[in-house]
Amino acid sequence: MRSCCLSGRDRRLAARRRVDELREEADRIQAALAAAEQEWQEWAIARRRVDAVLAPDGGITADTEITDHPQDAPSAPRDAAKPKSQVPVWREGLAWSVLSVDHQRILQALADRVRLGQGPLTRQETAAQFGMDVVPARVAALRSKAKGLVARGWSAEPASGPFTLAQGAAGPGGEP
């Protein structure tokens, strides 16, 4: 009877060791992925900066998406909203039209809140306002887009969670 329990115990310990080894390998792969993504982001930023310096139109290229294949590059005009464009850094006079439609909708909702004196907008309120199901996946997607706007100066996050329009980031017609 004892040998049965030991072999079961040995199998349990071997399984536990295998799980631990796989977790360590997954952690190592995640760390390598994070480092590779960081390096890619740095190259993408460098490429945009070089393109901005060399661009014949005054260097307004921050709204274009970096792709590995030229045939995948967007063919829409520079000022048109692109569905997967990166958020350019806000600067005086930059129109909302350089942003994706989703980012423009978020900014419009924030501008409406400012205009009505209603204060910051939560992700859940944004999801409900856009007619989305208020489920974690949808709310997380909105949070990601809103955080991108904060990081680039279009909106602000005065407290952890709710968002508001950044000082100076006027609406499409010049009104907040």
Is the pTM higher than 0.85? The answer reads: no
pLDDT of 176? 44
Mean pLDDT rounded to a whole number for the chain: 76
Residue 73 lies in a domain: no
Task: Report how far residue 125's alpha carbon sits from residue 146's, in angstroms, rounded to the nearest whole number.
Answer: 13
The model's pLDDT over 59-118, given as tens digits with 9 standing for 90+, comes to 444 444 444 433 344 433 333 334 445 788 888 888 888 888 888 989 899 888 888 888
Residue 85, domain CATH: 1.10.10
CA torsion 71→77→81→84, rounded to 10°?
10
Same domain, 49 and 126: no
For 131, phi then psi, to 5°, come to 75, 20
pLDDT of 18? 93
Band of pLDDT at residue 156, cut at 50, 70 and 90: confident
What is the domain count for the chain?
2
Q: Which domain holds residue 51?
A: 1-61
Hey, what are 74's tokens?
A: 């967007």
Residue 74 lies in a domain: no
Q: Which of 73, 79, 134 is nearest to 104 (CA)?
A: 79
The answer to whether residue 166 scores a pLDDT higher than 80 is yes
Same domain, 25 and 85: no
pLDDT of 17? 92
The answer to whether residue 29 scores a pLDDT higher than 70 is yes
Residue 44 lies in a domain: yes
Same domain, 103 and 160: yes
Same domain, 57 and 85: no
pLDDT of 136? 85
pLDDT of 69? 38
Band of pLDDT at residue 2, cut at 50, 70 and 90: low
Same domain, 51 and 87: no
In the block, which residue shows the tokens 């501008």? 111
The model's pLDDT over 32-61, given as tens digits with 9 standing for 90+, comes to 888 888 888 888 888 888 888 886 654 444
Residue 72 lies in a domain: no
The CA distances from residue 67 to 9, 43, 53, 159, 175, in Å, are 53, 11, 19, 35, 34
Same domain, 57 and 87: no
pLDDT of 172? 54
3-state secondary structure of 141: helix
Same domain, 166 and 91: yes
pLDDT of 70? 37
